[in-house]
A and B are shown apart, each in its own frame.
Chain A
Amino acid sequence: MYTRVSNNLQSNYFRKTLLNTENNLFNLQKQATSGKLISFPSENPEINFNVLKYQKTFSHMDQYLKNIRDISNVMEYTDGVIRNINEVLQRIREIAVQAANGIYSEEDRKKMAVEVDELLKQIYSLSNEKFNDKYLFSGFKVLREPFVANIDGERINDIYYAGDNGEMKIDVGHSDIIEYNITGNKLFYSENTTIIPQGNFFNFVADNDYKIKINNTEIKIFKGDTIEDIISRINKSNAGVIANIDLDTGEFYIKTTFPHKPFLEDIERNLLQKMNIIDPLNKPPFNISNSAKKYGGSLFDQIIQFRNALERNDSEAISTRTIQFLDMSIDNLTKYIALNGSKLERIKMTEKFLEFQKVDLTEALSNIESADITETISKLKSFETVYQASLQIATNLDKLGLMYFLR
């Protein structure tokens, strides 16, 4: 309450009221046109903080979605290629079953050999399939053919793996990193590989600290480790191989735990070389020492052997063993179809989840940052009325005062 009303008091009061109303009007107009409660951080740091948090989450989610779309394309394509190879392999198996039958003549078997050769070429070409100009099965060596054939005229004599065991990884969620390629040294190998280096390892002791690498896993061997220690270090490393020693003969061997061609490498000093396992002149997987005994081959090796046996009309070789090998290959392919498929299914589910989550989060963000348009407009209207009333009163007030009556 003011005990005395002066002219300046009146004008101050009206100026303040008008300014306040104008300020409110302006803020509401801003909200109504942008649809957002704030346009600068300092207007409301709490809202801004939340908006930034959501924006970060969206940015990450968008990248995950992009990654899922990118790799699911590759994985779907890979799936198709493996299924094709599987079909061709089924056809070869049918031929093998037929050929094992004694009623077929040498002539028939030669014809079968021609068909098998064609099918071999088909698998070979499928194994060198590309997606987006990158070879599917060559690991990290995406620009080089994973399988190289020794060709004599039209005839394939030998096919070997020239890729590596690189695992392509990408994140599809927070701390969810997925490996999305299949390397040729796994897909096209259906037998376990066994390597038996030359020599008696009974009294072998590591004379220094070493570091070796088996299939991307580095294993440390310490000075003074006996052969048992070395074996236990390899077996505990989960590198996809197990090692063992025959206590009678002193024969040491490394065997894969699932069908693939292993990559063995010396990282620090040369333990594997000393154990006669690898030959340092070559790069993995071609570095297995010539003196070591090797067992296990690729799907191509089996088909070539089968074709050669048909050509030679060697019914001994075209036995149940061939069919057994082919079944193992088919099993192996089916395993990777399932593995690839289940990963694909999982990321598709992640994709769906992310998309749902995005909708939910968008709504949540909107609750935080968006102005309620109905409320804003009705507030705007009421402030407009107040503004007009204030102006009206201000003009009317001017006509009051003693001055108007003293004439």
Chain B
Amino acid sequence: MFSTFMGVEIAKRSMQTAQSTLYVTQNNIANANNPDYSRQVVNISTFEPLYLPQISMPTVAGQIGQGSFLESIERVKDFFLENKIMTETSFLSNFSTIVSYVQRIDAIYNEPYGKSLIEAINNFFNAFNDLAKDPESVAKRALVVEKAKYMIDLFHDKFDKIKGLQDDLNFDIDLTINKANELIKQIALLNDKIKKIEATGQRANDLKDQRDKLIIELSNIIPITTKDKEDFYVYLDGKILIQGKEFHQIEKIYDDKNKGFIFPSLNGERIFVNNGKLSALLTMRDKIVDDQLKKINQLALSLIEGVNIIHQKGKTLSGRTNISFFNELPLSLYINGEYDSNSDGFSDRNVIYKIIGTKQLNLTDKLMISGTLNINGKIINYYENDTVEDLIKKVNLANTGINFYLNSFGQLEIKGNASSNGIFSIEHLEDSGLFLSSFAGLLKENAIFDKNDLNAFQNFYTGQIYLISPEKNIASWIDLSKDIKADLNNIAAAFADKDLKEGDGNIALQISLLNKSNFFIQNSYSISDFYQNMINDYASFGFIAKQNMDNHQLLLYNFENLKQSYSGVNMDEEFSNMMKFQKMYQATAKFVTTLNELYEILIGIVR
């Protein structure tokens, strides 16, 4: 037998179902413009029909349905798309961060139409060229100093700005790690909440949407992968970052050796991220911007060195010789170049920038000996049939951070480029044969030069000359020498001669011709070539990043659109749902009225 009021029960459930469904629809409409929201759909199920097989089961025709009920509210989500979006977000934020910082470098250099460093350098050399025509003229001398000062100012300015940018990047890395840690914490917290809710059998749809949003935000910073099993996992670089409510924070290591910059680490181990904002910031700080600093220092060093060598050969109007035009600051005040690199009060290495051989060589000389060079850890073999030129080329192409070349006296000069710590120095020289020793006259036979050997100078060939490295950050301290600052007449325009020759501008001419020399910097670039390459390096990097950014933006846009197409709210759909459930509610209400009438009749019979 069926209960009298069974119909009311069915109607009640139906009305409840229709009502909740309307609420879900309303929630969908309310979040139609929320990009992180996934539309929710209701699962309506039939209620358990009568009767269940049990002892009290009446023998009537069955089963009879008991109406519908709201089984679950599910969000519509495509997890494959979600993963794609995560990856693309990492890519995009990597490239867009690079682009934004490259634009800041653009603004520093003021190329190609602003007042640029290279223009100032050209003007400086042209001033010397003008002085060559009127070396007796005080006005022309004043012009040389003025142009030199302007150039020096620009060197300081560019250096400060690039260095400032590097510091900004370091600061940004700090902030970015903090933000990542905050996100990690929040995600772990949400994991906990979600787990607790879902344990009750309900669906934590909105909280999951929130977590997805945070995951995308974290993807912006670091390239993470996720796994949603019994716990929600987040991995970084193959290591677990979050597991359920447990999480690891990204730690900051301060690298004392490297300017005190911050490096990210996990469980005490340095991590290498290859994507996302953090990766972009690290690349910019440690490669692109750092490279610009090295290059601008190299430019300043070459200028100081090149101009001074010629200037010192000249004679000033006051009859003095051996005057430097630019200031020179050695890194070590000791004659053997001892230097305390970790500031603990004890010298721990030597800083030797240049070694000049004693023997006079020709480029076409055959070596007639063979051996193996170890230059800064790179191995270079040389054979009997090689000429001096062959070997010099081999060394320079090997990218050892050291340049070989013959100076104007035919002596072999070895010069160090800037290493990662910003010091221009030679780190290691070793020769299994006799080239560096008896052939070129640099080292004693079988002797090894190493930067960490405080007695390394004892290994030099007798009579050989070496130069101490310049103070770090050359572009920041490049300046006129005291002599030039004190008196314009201390500019040496003339060759040093017994007689005073005020009309001799040959030294000034030679200095001005440096600007056109193709071997000015590292013996392989002219100033303008070097500068053009320096600009081109970062600009190309930025340009490629921009293209990649556009690419990934398009990909991300497509995936976002697919996601919105799948998970986004469509108003018409919601309205038709609304109509549907409104009608369901109305129909059910009508049914209740009908039941009511039935009861009225029933009660009437009784009466």
**Binary CB contact string for chain A from 113 to 140 against chain B (1 if under 8 A, 0 otherwise):** 0000000000000000000101000111
Chain B: interface residue count, which band?
Answer: 35 or more
11 contacts between A and B (CB under 8 A): A5-B565, A7-B570, A8-B564, A12-B561, A42-B102, A49-B532, A51-B112, A55-B118, A141-B501, A170-B509, A171-B512
Tell me whether A166 and B122 are in contact (CB under 8 A).
no
- Asked if A39 is at the interface (CB within 8 A of a chain B CB), the reply is yes
Tell me whether B572 and A143 are in contact (CB under 8 A).
no
Which stretch, A56-64, A82-90, A335-343, touches the partner chain B? A56-64
CB-CB under 8 A from A4, the residues of chain B are 565-566, 570
A7–B572 Cα distance when bound, in Å, is: 9
Tell me whether B528 and A52 are in contact (CB under 8 A).
yes
- Asked if B453 is at the interface (CB within 8 A of a chain A CB), the reply is no
Tell me whether A45 and B122 are in contact (CB under 8 A).
no
What residues of chain A have their CB less than 8 Å away from a CB belonging to chain B?
A: 2-9, 11-13, 16, 36, 38-45, 48-49, 51-53, 55-56, 59-60, 63, 66-67, 70-71, 132, 134, 138-143, 164, 166, 168-171, 174-175, 177, 265, 283, 369, 401-403, 406
- Asked if B540 is at the interface (CB within 8 A of a chain A CB), the reply is yes
Given A41-B535, A42-B102, A170 contacting B565 (CB threshold 8 A): no
B interface SS class: helix
Given A142-B136, A164-B501, A402 contacting B532 (CB threshold 8 A): no
A45's closest neighbor in chain B, by CB?
B539
- Asked if B457 is at the interface (CB within 8 A of a chain A CB), the reply is no
Option from B503, B512, B528 in Cβ contact (under 8 Å) with A168: B503
Given A42-B543, A139-B503, A402 contacting B565 (CB threshold 8 A): no
Given A42-B102, A70-B133, A8 contacting B538 (CB threshold 8 A): no
CB-CB under 8 A from B499, the residues of chain A are 164, 283
Tell me whether A6 and B122 are in contact (CB under 8 A).
no
- Asked if B33 is at the interface (CB within 8 A of a chain A CB), the reply is yes
CB-CB under 8 A from B516, the residues of chain A are 60, 171, 174-175
CB-CB under 8 A from A139, the residues of chain B are 501, 503
B570's closest neighbor in chain A, by CB?
A6
Closest chain-B Cβ to A86's Cβ sits at a distance in Å of 25
Tell me whether B504 and A71 are in contact (CB under 8 A).
no
A53–B527 Cα distance when bound, in Å, is: 11
A400's closest neighbor in chain B, by CB?
B572
Option from A12, A66, A141 in Cβ contact (under 8 Å) with B502: A141
A132's closest neighbor in chain B, by CB?
B134
A141–B119 Cα distance when bound, in Å, is: 34
CB-CB under 8 A from B505, the residues of chain A are 168-170
A48–B35 Cα distance when bound, in Å, is: 40
A60's closest neighbor in chain B, by CB?
B516
Given A48-B111, A140-B504, A16 contacting B557 (CB threshold 8 A): yes
Closest chain-B Cβ to A405's Cβ sits at a distance in Å of 9
Option from A6, A43, A141, A406 in Cβ contact (under 8 Å) with B564: A6
Q: Please report which residues of chain B, range 494-520, place their CB below 8 angstroms from some CB of chain A when the two chains form the complex.
A: 494, 498-499, 501-506, 509, 512-513, 515-516
Closest chain-A Cβ to B110's Cβ sits at a distance in Å of 9
- 7 further interface pairs, Cβ-Cβ under 8 Å (given A4-B570, A170-B132, A402-B576): A12-B35, A51-B112, A52-B532, A134-B136, A166-B503, A171-B129, A403-B571
Option from A39, A45, A140 in Cβ contact (under 8 Å) with B503: A140
Given A45-B540, A134-B503, A168-B505, A52 contacting B570 (CB threshold 8 A): no
A174–B546 Cα distance when bound, in Å, is: 39
CB-CB under 8 A from A143, the residues of chain B are 136, 502-503
**Binary CB contact string for chain B from 175 to 193 against chain A (1 if under 8 A, 0 otherwise):** 0000000000000000000
Closest chain-B Cβ to A336's Cβ sits at a distance in Å of 19
A314–B494 Cα distance when bound, in Å, is: 49
CB-CB under 8 A from B575, the residues of chain A are 401-403, 406
Tell me whether A41 and B109 are in contact (CB under 8 A).
yes
Tell me whether B504 and A166 are in contact (CB under 8 A).
yes
CB-CB under 8 A from A164, the residues of chain B are 499, 501
B125's closest neighbor in chain A, by CB?
A63
CB-CB under 8 A from B546, the residues of chain A are 42
Tell me whether B565 and A140 are in contact (CB under 8 A).
no
Tell me whether A40 and B506 are in contact (CB under 8 A).
no
A41–B512 Cα distance when bound, in Å, is: 28
Tell me whether B568 and A8 are in contact (CB under 8 A).
yes
Closest chain-B Cβ to A46's Cβ sits at a distance in Å of 8
CB-CB under 8 A from A70, the residues of chain B are 133
CB-CB under 8 A from A138, the residues of chain B are 503
Tell me whether B565 and A2 are in contact (CB under 8 A).
yes
A274–B428 Cα distance when bound, in Å, is: 51
Option from A42, A66, A402 in Cβ contact (under 8 Å) with B571: A402
- Asked if B531 is at the interface (CB within 8 A of a chain A CB), the reply is yes
The list of the 6 closest CB pairs from A to B, nearest first, reads: A6-B568, A142-B503, A140-B501, A42-B542, A41-B539, A40-B106
Tell me whether B136 and A8 are in contact (CB under 8 A).
no
Tell me whether A9 and B561 are in contact (CB under 8 A).
yes
A139's closest neighbor in chain B, by CB?
B503
